[in-house]
Homo-oligomer: A and B are copies of this chain.
Amino acid sequence: MSEERHGTRRGDGPRKAQEIFDATLDLLAEKGYEGLTIEGVAQRSGVNKTTIYRWWPSKGALLGAALIGARQLDFTPPDTGSLTGDLEALLQTVTTLLTTQPACGIAVSVLGAVTQSPELALHIREFFADRIALEQAVFDRAVARGELAADADTMLLVDLLAGATWMRVVLRGLPLERDFVARAVGTVLDGARHQT
């Protein structure tokens, strides 16, 4: 086993890393960041807490690894054959995440905690960096198909779509209309300006 610490899905980590990650996010959804403890994760996952500390020296580090490695936030970039289809599938993932338990409990708890903990904020940045690296496959295929300019600002497209969902659900506290995903993707790809 490697000497490398901070195991992730990328390879190394303790034998029951998956159980540890899943238990971490379950406990976060149930108890919030304040109530999340390494002791609680050890108990839930049936692992000795010294094992957890050996790989992740703090609660923030463990949560950072769990956000990327846990099954609850598992993510495979869509490949529907069109940019519209892929962006609708991506956005559907975000809307499901933010409107279905336990994922929305996790998202809202993380959001609350990120405003309080600079260490956790760093791990959240890593989570989003990991996500956008995976999402890049969608944009590479769209460029290859001629649907998107090679110099398109792909992070902007993701942030417009995902951000609108966060705004609507978390900040406004409003439900998403049934056609929210299609309208949002249509606007970002084709624009809202009136064509006369």
**A interface, how many residues as a size bin?**
35 or more
Q: With A and B bound together, what is the CA distance between A126 and B110 in angstroms?
A: 24
Q: With A and B bound together, what is the CA distance between A147 and B196 in angstroms?
A: 9
CB pair B162–A167 under 8 Å, yes or no, is yes
In angstroms, how far is the closest chain B Cβ from the Cβ of A75?
A: 16
Name A128's closest neighbour in chain B (CB-CB): B172
Interface string of A141-181 (1 = CB under 8 A from B): 00000111100110111111111111110111110000010
Q: With A and B bound together, what is the CA distance between A181 and B189 in angstroms?
A: 17
Q: Determine if A103 is an interface residue (Cβ-Cβ < 8 Å).
A: no
CB pair A193–B190 under 8 Å, yes or no, is yes
Residues on B with C-beta less than 8 A from A36 are none
CB pair A124–B196 under 8 Å, yes or no, is no
Q: With A and B bound together, what is the CA distance between A149 and B194 in angstroms?
A: 5
Q: A153-B183, A159-B167, A159-B172 are in contact. List 6 more A-B contacts (CB 8 A).
A: A128-B171, A153-B187, A155-B168, A160-B184, A188-B192, A189-B191
Q: Determine if A125 is an interface residue (Cβ-Cβ < 8 Å).
A: yes
Q: With A and B bound together, what is the CA distance between A54 and B91 in angstroms?
A: 46
Partner of A164, one of B124, B156, B172, B193: B156
Q: With A and B bound together, what is the CA distance between A167 and B157 in angstroms?
A: 11
Residues on B with C-beta less than 8 A from A157 are 187, 192
Residues on B with C-beta less than 8 A from A61 are none
CB pair B115–A171 under 8 Å, yes or no, is no
CB pair B189–A192 under 8 Å, yes or no, is yes
Partner of A171, one of B109, B114, B148: B114
Partner of A193, one of B112, B148, B170: B148
Q: Determine if A90 is an interface residue (Cβ-Cβ < 8 Å).
A: no
CB pair A163–B167 under 8 Å, yes or no, is yes
Q: Determine if A27 is an interface residue (Cβ-Cβ < 8 Å).
A: no
Q: With A and B bound together, what is the CA distance between A146 and B194 in angstroms?
A: 7
Query: Which residue of A109, A183, A187, A189 has the most chain B CB atoms within 10 A of its CB atom?
Result: A187
